[in-house]
Amino acid sequence: MMSEDGKPALPPAAFSPEDMARRRRRNIALALVLGGLVVFFFLVTLVKTGPAILNRPL
């Protein structure tokens, strides 16, 4: 099947609303994991570096 400009037409979108909702839930879970990693590395850095990390010249 060809489109109006003569190029092959793309297949119709394969994702149903249910598929999109599933993808959305997966993306939210991924965002939460990434946020958790940020907190994880922040806390570990604080502990490994010690309180001295806050003593910086102004």
Query: To the nearest whole angstrom, how small is the minimum distance from the Cβ of residue 24 to another protein?
Result: 10
Query: To the nearest whole angstrom, how small is the minimum distance from the Cβ of residue 19 to another protein?
Result: 6
Applying CB under 8 A, does 14 fall inside the site for another protein? yes
Applying CB under 8 A, does 10 fall inside the site for another protein? no
Convert residues 18-47 into a mask of x (bound to another protein by CB under 8 A) and - (unbound).
-x--xx-xx--xx---------x--xx-xx
Q: What is the CA angle 19-24-26, rounded to 5? A: 95
| Straight-line distance from the first to the last Cα atom of the chain, in angstroms, rounded to the nearest whole number | 68
Which two structure tokens, joined as six digits, stand for 23?
A: 């993808």
Question: SS3 for 14?
Answer: coil
